[in-house]
A = this chain, B = another copy of it.
């Protein structure tokens, strides 16, 4: 398949959320204009985003809400469950362990890890925290697909390597450090302080 930009994938995620709202309101069909209005974009953008994945809707009739919802779910890979481990039980890691938004989307937390012996064995949101040194073996048994890295920068590459060794094929990295990964492993970097720096930049350099 053609390479799809991250920004397109993000909009598909948004469209799916809007379709769920429309569905909850009992709407059967929706036009690209209505979908665009809800998402602050244009109907041309909506049609272009969807066109990557085949043909949708009938001209003049709009999209069937349940059908488009189902197809977006399939495109995004949300028709199945994804098994997620979180490595690093600091404040952010522990908050994510109990984040309801993951479960609602089919992301199931199957393991929590930390290198600190004082944290290992403790229970966080129903999961016993395991030793980071057991990661490669345990995460393999758990069939983990995705690892969330909420470890300090100095520990991130080692944690990523252990996760990949355990069969993980996608990483969400909160550590402010670039990771070296095999080409077949997907990576998203998230950095809260850098997001704020983006805002500081915008405030300092008004458009």
Query: Which residues of chain A have a CB within 8 Å of any CB of chain B?
Result: 1, 3-4, 6, 9-10, 12-14, 17, 38-40, 75-78, 82, 84, 91-92, 94-96, 98-99, 101-102, 104-107, 145-146, 169-172, 176, 178, 180, 184, 186, 188, 190-207
On whether the beta carbons of B9 and A77 are closer than 8 Å, the reply is no
A-B contacts besides A77-B203, A107-B196, A190-B192, 10 pairs, CB < 8 Å: A9-B201, A12-B201, A13-B198, A77-B204, A82-B199, A92-B95, A96-B192, A146-B196, A170-B202, A172-B195
Question: Hey, which chain B residues are within 8 Å of A94, CB to CB?
Answer: 91, 95
Q: Tell me how far the C-beta of A163 lies from the nearest C-beta in chain B, rounded to whole angstroms.
A: 13
Check A198 against B95 for contact (C-beta < 8 Å). no
Closest 10 CB pairs of A and B: A77-B204, A186-B202, A95-B95, A170-B199, A77-B200, A101-B193, A91-B95, A13-B194, A40-B178, A13-B197
Cα A104 to Cα B196 with chains together (Å): 12
**A170 / chain B contacts, CB cutoff of 8 Å:** 199-200, 202-203
Contacts of A188 in B (CB 8 A): 195, 198-199
A197 touches B9 (CB 8 A): yes
- Asked whether, in the complex, the Cβ of A102 is within 8 Å of the Cβ of B193, the reply is yes
CA distance A39 to B180 in the complex (A): 10
Task: State whether A82 touches B196 (Cβ < 8 A).
Answer: yes
Q: List 28 A-B contacts (CB under 8 A).
A: A9-B197, A9-B198, A12-B201, A13-B191, A13-B194, A13-B197, A13-B198, A76-B200, A76-B204, A77-B197, A77-B200, A78-B197, A82-B199, A91-B95, A91-B99, A92-B95, A104-B193, A106-B200, A107-B193, A107-B196, A145-B203, A146-B203, A169-B203, A170-B200, A170-B203, A186-B199, A188-B198, A190-B192
Min distance, Cβ A6 to any Cβ of chain B, angstroms: 6
A196 surroundings in chain B (CB, below 8 A): 82, 84, 102, 105, 107, 146, 172
